[in-house]
């Protein structure tokens, strides 16, 4: 072995694995992600967190190189955490790994500060690719979402006047709309989101105006169809975790 090869081996040995903090409220999901990341080579897991408070504590204590974040969390949503991280840890890259359809949430996550978005249905190789891309300073989204975002910017469709339907809803309104689609009453939604009934009623009126319906019945029908389309299920009976989380 020549001197160049010796130095190359030495440099490789001295390189520390890039450390990823996993933020997801499902222990089995975290366990699977730990195996995937540690078997990839050059990557390690600095720790795990199941809620926003745990995530903030872990980031301060462990100083990971990046965060792998689910949107559905107790005591707050991943979108909320993204905004907080933008303020408190602006140089910490975040990759969102979520069950929520990227067509509706990827752009919102990127606007909130994420450096990438990948769905949990993707194969483990794609998850590793997304992690490496974000760690290199890149931006990761699926090709279809990338094309859609570029088209929006090129066509100027980010202008609220040119958006239609669900696209025009704020993060909070989208959350309420999703809860309506899962059959939650105004009182149930208010309780889950820790808001007043009056506030939820106001959100319902704004949603009706933005999606172009007049009655509460039409609103419910639209919300149910949207949830079915987004989840890919014919009759979703149980609300998704995101419905019970908080958002801004």
Q: What class is the 164-244 domain?
A: mainly alpha
State how far the Cα of 86 lies from the Cα of 59, in Å rounded to an integer.
Answer: 13
* pLDDT at residue 173, as a whole number: 85
The 3 state secondary structure assigned to 144-188 is HHHHHHHHHHHHCCCCHHHCCHHHHCCHHHHHHHHHHHCCCCHHH
Strands (E), 131-189: none
* pLDDT at residue 83, as a whole number: 87
State the average pLDDT for the chain.
82
Coil, strand, or helix at residue 244? Answer: helix
* pLDDT at residue 53, as a whole number: 92
Query: Going by CATH, does the domain composed of 12-150 fall within 1.10.3720.10?
Result: no
Kindly state the tokens that stand for 150: 């570029």
- What's the gap between Cα 149 and its chain centre? 16
Residue 19 DSSP code:
E
Over the stretch 166-181, which tens digit does the pLDDT of each residue have?
Answer: 878 887 888 888 889 8
* pLDDT at residue 166, as a whole number: 80
Q: What band does 89 get if pLDDT is binned at 50, 70 and 90?
A: very high
* pLDDT at residue 231, as a whole number: 59
Over the stretch 26-61, which tens digit does the pLDDT of each residue have?
Answer: 999 999 999 999 999 999 999 999 999 999 999 999
Least confident of 45-49, 200-204, 226-230, 244-248: 244-248
Report domain extents, the chain: 12-150, 164-244
Are 19 and 45 a contacting pair, CB within 8 Å? Answer: yes
Are 67 and 30 a contacting pair, CB within 8 Å? Answer: no
Rg of the Cα atoms in the chain = 20
Q: Higher pLDDT residue, 228 or 44? A: 44
């Amino acid at each position: 072995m020549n001197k160049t090869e010796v130095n190359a081996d030495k440099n490789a040995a001295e390189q520390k694995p890039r450390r990823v903090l996993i933020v997801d409220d499902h222990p089995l999901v975290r366990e699977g992600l730990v195996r995937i990341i540690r078997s990839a080579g050059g990557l390690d897991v600095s720790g795990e967190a199941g809620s926003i408070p745990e995530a903030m504590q872990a980031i301060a204590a462990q100083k990971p190189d990046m965060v792998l974040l689910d949107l559905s969390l107790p005591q707050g949503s991943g979108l909320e955490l993204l905004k907080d991280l933008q303020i408190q840890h602006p140089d910490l890259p975040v990759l969102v790994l979520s069950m929520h359809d990227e067509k509706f949430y990827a752009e919102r996550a990127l606007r909130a500060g994420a450096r990438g978005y990948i769905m949990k249905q993707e194969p483990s190789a794609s998850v590793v690719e997304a992690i490496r891309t974000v760690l290199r300073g890149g931006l990761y989204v699926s090709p279809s979402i990338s094309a859609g975002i570029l088209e929006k910017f090129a066509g100027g469709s980010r202008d609220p006047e040119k958006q239609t339907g669900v696209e025009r809803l704020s993060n909070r309104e989208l959350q309420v709309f999703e809860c309506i689609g899962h059959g939650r009453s105004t009182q149930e939604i208010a309780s889950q989101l820790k808001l007043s009934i009056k506030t939820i009623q106001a959100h319902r009126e704004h949603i009706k105006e933005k999606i172009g319906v007049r009655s509460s019945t039409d609103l419910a029908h639209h919300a149910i169809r949207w949830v079915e389309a987004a989840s890919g299920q014919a009759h979703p009976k149980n609300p998704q975790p995101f419905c019970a989380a908080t958002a801004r």
